[in-house]
Amino acid sequence: MRRVRSPQLLAGLLAGAGVAHFLLPKPFDSIVPRTLPGSPRAWTYASGAVELALAAGIALPHTRRRTAGAAAAFFVAVAPANVKMAVDWRDRPAPLRRAAAARVPLQVPLVLWARKVARDAA
């Protein structure tokens, strides 16, 4: 039963994150690495749109394998934003500092989860 729900849970996580990028963009703007060209808001909206597209692709069985593989790559690609957040929040209160630091290693299980969804869909 868990295998059946895993893709839907991953799709739900991505959809929720994607919607959050549009409803509450400011926190996401602040973690966009400054080395990226263009405005942080454009990157926030673009990554939100990618998350929504990945959610849709994972939710559909016939596109799940490829899209879950793309999600794994996406989780790797956004890791620098989480590193930036951890560095920028070094002077915040301890609970916020720990939360920001926890986002960095959290990328590893997300990548592994997406890869497993892709393998199970094959």
What is the residue-level pLDDT of the chain in tens, covering all 122 positions? 455 689 999 999 999 999 999 999 999 999 999 999 999 999 999 999 999 999 999 999 999 999 999 999 999 999 999 999 999 999 999 999 999 999 999 999 999 999 999 999 98
Give the per-residue pLDDT at 2.
Answer: 52
Task: Using DSSP, state whether 111 is helix, strand or coil.
Answer: helix
What does the alpha-carbon distance between residue 24 and residue 18 come to, in Å, rounded to a whole number? 10
Count of all residues that appear for the chain in the document: 122
pTM above 0.85, yes or no: yes
Residue reference for tokens 């920001």: 100
Of 58, 55, 46, 48, give the one whose Cα is nearest residue 121: 58
| CA quadruple 64, 57, 61, 116: dihedral, nearest 10 | 30
